[in-house]
Chains A and B, each alone.
Chain A
Amino acid sequence: MSIWETIIFSLIKILIIVHVMLITVSYLVYFERKISAWAQNRLGPNRVGWKGLLQPFADVLKLLLKEDIVPNQANKPIHTLAPLLALFVAFTTYAVIPFGPDLKIFGYTIPLVVADINVGILYVLALTSLGVYAITFAGWSSGSKYSLLGGIRSSAQMISYEISMGFSIGGVLLLSQSLRPEAIVASQSGWMWNAILQPIGFITFLVSAFAETNRLPFDLPEAEPELVGGFHTEYSSMKFAGFFLAEYANMIIASALIVTLYLGGWQFPYLETFGLPYGWYVAISVLTFLFKEALLLFFFIWVRWSLPRFRYDQLMNLGWKVMFPLSLLNIVWVAGLIMIFKI
């Protein structure tokens, strides 16, 4: 493949992924509202369009028409930068997540991942840590005490949970012996899913992912009843929508990461032994990925509407005294598995 062909294919893949992400985000908001309604024995949005399916577009239009307010006390450049940074982080992380096997079409072999780089997981970790800046900037630059408290909480929370997140990934890396997402997926063929081999690591990563995405039960940076919305108290219009978008995009990233690292990625267990034609194989693999992802997203929303928020000291206790030792234990466990079974 020449350089031009690579660029064109990459552009097409980027366009497809960005659009799929945007539409998924808007419908995630819809499903968030629907599932919350179902959990509370209500019906949820059902007025705009058939079964309320046009609701997300109405919401976006409403937000676009709102006045964009920047407080007097705000540090204006940073106040504007923060939502953009949040969005940037949310969307660029997706570049390294593989969502299917190589696609063979018109004599080309196209890997179904935007950038197949060998430090993929490191890249994801680096970018998600960058996400803290968006929230801290937003909190600090707003010139409001509630925002500042939200920003501080967010940075403390992210730092504490990033540690257990990193260490639980350590277990995965020991097994796959590579930082390439593709190699990690390949190391989980059949039922050798990391979630089954290292359940402790799976749970610590899952919990840290909830904390990293600021979702309930760890949504302390927002904490509506205490902080009036936390870091986005002083945001309105499309800047607020930017944070909203980023939150849901982060949810998608987090579940994509969990699928890739722990649930076998795009692999349908033992699909290659069924002897299907290659096109079908690719299609089923991509669908499997989407299905796993959808289940996890449902889980994210389901947890939000079931569990109460942690108190700040409980959050820190859980992060440092429970999650961190558990993720270390997981590394020992995986190392033991490798020593005994030579996998």
Chain B
Amino acid sequence: MADKRRKKDLTFLERIYIPEIIKGLLLTLKNMLKPKFTMQYPEEKFIPGGSYRGRPVLVQEENGEERCVACGLCSRVCPALAIEVQAAETQREKERYPEKFEINMIRCIFCGFCEEVCPEEAIVMSKDYELAFTSREDAIYGKDKLLVPVHQLKDRIEFLRSYK
């Protein structure tokens, strides 16, 4: 036990420091010359892939109507209680629609449960990650901000269809 060489015992070459210091210096020098991957954010923006969970949005069909049937499952499943839905009826083939659909973005935790539970593929997570607001009122997103045309959400919908 006592005569065993411990792992932290250094050899003579390591104990005179200088070769080790030179090794360390060369390592940092090598890193100095490597290309950098920093993104210059406001000018150059990160475009995430389909699996990215940004702000949840409502899908708007080509004819301008929302897909949502106001079943309220999303609001029911939301762990942060961020979604509020009020249903209303019309005379059209698709009778129900949300009269009021609000997501409180201060509460939203981007878990994606709403999208997972939605039977109509009507609420999906978008790629939008720039969510700054200056007041609490601004943070409550109504239908005007939530509706996004379906062609802008193709990536996410395709991702959901192949992996969900």
Contact = CB atoms under 8 A, between A and B. Distances in A.
Chain B binding surface, main DSSP class: helix
Interface string B98-124: 000000000000000000000000000
Interface residues of A, number: 13
Contacts, number: 31
Contacts of A203: 18
B37 interface: yes
Contacts of B32: 35, 38-39
| Interface hub of B25, B28, B29, B40 (most chain A Cβ within 10 A) | B28
Contact of B21 (A35, A42, A307): A307
Contacts of A306: 21, 24-25, 27-28
Contacts of A40: 31
A43 to B, nearest CB: 5
A303 interface: yes
| Interface hub of B32, B36, B38 (most chain A Cβ within 10 A) | B32
B34 interface: yes
B150 to A, nearest CB: 39
Interface string B18-49: 10010011011101101011101000000000
A305 interface: yes
B21 to A, nearest CB: 7
A2 interface: no
Interface in A22-54: 35, 38-43
Nearest to B37: A41
B25 A303 contact: yes
A38 B38 contact: no
Contacts of A38: 31-32, 36
24 contacts: A35-B32, A38-B31, A38-B32, A39-B28, A39-B31, A39-B32, A40-B31, A41-B31, A41-B34, A41-B36, A41-B37, A42-B38, A43-B36, A43-B38, A203-B18, A302-B28, A302-B29, A303-B25, A305-B28, A306-B21, A306-B24, A306-B27, A306-B28, A307-B21
Contacts of A35: 32
Interface string A296-328: 000000110111000000000000000000000
A306 B28 CA distance: 6
7 cross-chain pairs, A with B, having the tightest CB-CB distances, nearest first: A38-B32, A306-B28, A39-B28, A43-B38, A306-B24, A306-B25, A39-B32
A307 B31 contact: no
Given A203-B18, A307-B21, A42 B28 contact: no
B81 to A, nearest CB: 40
A238 B31 CA distance: 35
A303 B17 CA distance: 13
B117 to A, nearest CB: 41
Nearest to B29: A302
